[in-house]
Amino acid sequence: MVLMKKVFVFLVFIILASVFVNAQTPKAPNITPTEIDDKSGVSFGFNAGYDYDFNAYKMSNDANYTSIGSFYAINSHWNLGWDVGVMVTKRLRPRFEMKFVKMSYGFKWAPAYPSWTKTEVKLYNLDLNFRLDYLLVNSKKIQIFASPALKTEFVSKSYYKMFKTDGSTEGFQPSILQTEHPKSIAGAALAMIFKYNLNENLGLTFTPEYTDFFRDFQRGNGKPYERFSTNLGFEYNF
């Protein structure tokens, strides 16, 4: 995760440097006739992709699990969502985003429970995010935005799948296996949006993103809960 933090710092440096250069440069903004001056500035987007979570499981066993088993990570996960934004200046775009995020973690049962081998827990989450996009590169075909965000994530549904030693499965949560995931959590994210404009209104987007949540996946883990995402999508400008 040292590499991820270096990437995060590097992206922040690029954003600040770009803002400084734009503030010091007297030339007119690079706005083409097909951009905001001729439109309402409202955009609608849809995207989907993969998530890779770090430290997204209970990492230390307490007295409740000493003789029962241990948790482990499962990757990778997926997300899909939509967003709507509006250009309030020629470079700044506030944007609201809603996403559905599927993630998982597992539990390996100790020999004291010979009927079961493992349990997989699937979480279906709802994300409500506020973004503040800043236009770094602007041309007729290519646009690049830096997109810091405040993210909130809520568990809407959880599903437990029990794997038996005879190869069969059952869908239930055993009473001794407690709920070991946050029902809601918040975090900060930074994404880079690379957009290729197919025409005046429609563009394709590629978005890598790093998220650092404000608390551990389970309190007491001792390691931060982080996520790296890559998404593909489209954006329509009205």
- What is the residue-level pLDDT of the chain in tens, covering all 238 positions? 554 554 455 455 455 545 444 544 444 445 444 444 447 899 999 999 999 999 999 998 777 788 899 999 999 899 999 999 999 999 999 999 999 999 999 999 999 999 999 999 999 999 999 999 999 999 999 999 999 999 999 999 999 999 999 999 999 999 888 899 999 999 999 999 999 999 999 999 999 999 999 999 998 899 999 999 999 999 999 9
Per-residue pLDDT at 23: 47
Let me know: does 195 contact 235? Beta carbons within 8 Å.
Answer: yes
Distance CA 20, CA 219 (A): 39
Q: State the Cα torsion 144-198-97-221 to the nearest 10°.
A: -60
Helices then strands, each counted (H, E), the chain: 1, 10
Beta bridge partners of 93: 133
Per-residue pLDDT at 25: 44
Name the residue among 127, 118, 27, 31 with its Cα closest to residue 77.
127
CA R_g for the chain: 22
Task: Write down the domain spans for the chain.
Answer: 48-128+140-237
Structure tokens at 49: 């992709």
Please give the CATH number for the structural domain made up of 48-128+140-237. Answer: 2.40.160
